[in-house]
């Protein structure tokens, strides 16, 4: 992929350095974005779900952590004993450890996660602070003298 030079952005804007660092992070993590596969769904303006295919991983082998605006999902397989991998005639189910990072918007937080039939579902909600929600301003009526 082509690298973008964001120097003009830094010269003419203030406070957008996080956006520029997001572009850099996306470009640097493109090399291993195939495992595990995932879907991102949007249900409405404030609710999202990330679904990851984690076949073979148990709940105790998965770790989900939110640090600020970064979501980290890790999978670490426990040793299956002393079964040599030479017993496989064909091994199509990937059983390797993984670590995936996702950048979340400022007001998005994780509300829950569950593992169902080899799919890890992580639920998100955008929380709009009261100060930023639209509010109706009443017009005061003045009495004519």
More confident site: 4 or 111: 111
Domain parsing of the chain, residue ranges: 1-33, 34-80+88-129
pTM of the model: 0.68
User: Has residue 103 got a pLDDT over 60?
Assistant: yes
* pLDDT at residue number 110: 93
Q: What is the per-residue pLDDT for 129?
A: 78
pLDDT at 16 over 60: no
Q: Is the pLDDT of residue 115 over 90?
A: yes
CB 50 within 8 A of CB 124: yes
- Domain at 34-80+88-129, CATH from 3.40.50.460, 3.30.200.20, 1.10.1740.10, 2.60.40.790: 2.60.40.790
Exposure string over 36-52, b if 16+ CB within 10 A, otherwise e: bebeeeeeeeeebbbeb
Q: Is 66 in contact with 104 (CB distance < 8 Å)?
A: yes
In the 8-state DSSP scheme, what is residue 62?
E
């Amino acid at each position: 992929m082509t690298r973008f030079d964001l120097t003009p952005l830094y010269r003419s804007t203030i406070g957008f350095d996080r956006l520029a660092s997001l572009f850099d992070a996306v470009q640097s993590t493109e090399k291993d974005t195939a495992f595990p596969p995932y879907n991102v769904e949007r249900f409405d303006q404030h609710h999202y779900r990330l679904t990851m295919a984690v076949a073979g991983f148990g709940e105790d082998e998965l770790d989900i952590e939110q640090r600020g605006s970064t979501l980290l999902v890790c999978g670490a397989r426990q040793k299956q004993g002393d079964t040599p991998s030479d017993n496989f005639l064909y091994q199509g189910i990937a059983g390797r450890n993984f670590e995936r990072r996702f950048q979340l918007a400022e007001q998005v937080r994780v509300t829950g996660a569950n593992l169902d039939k080899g799919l890890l579902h992580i639920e998100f909600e955008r929380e709009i602070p009261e100060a930023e929600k639209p509010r109706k301003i009443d017009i005061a009526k003045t009495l004519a003298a």
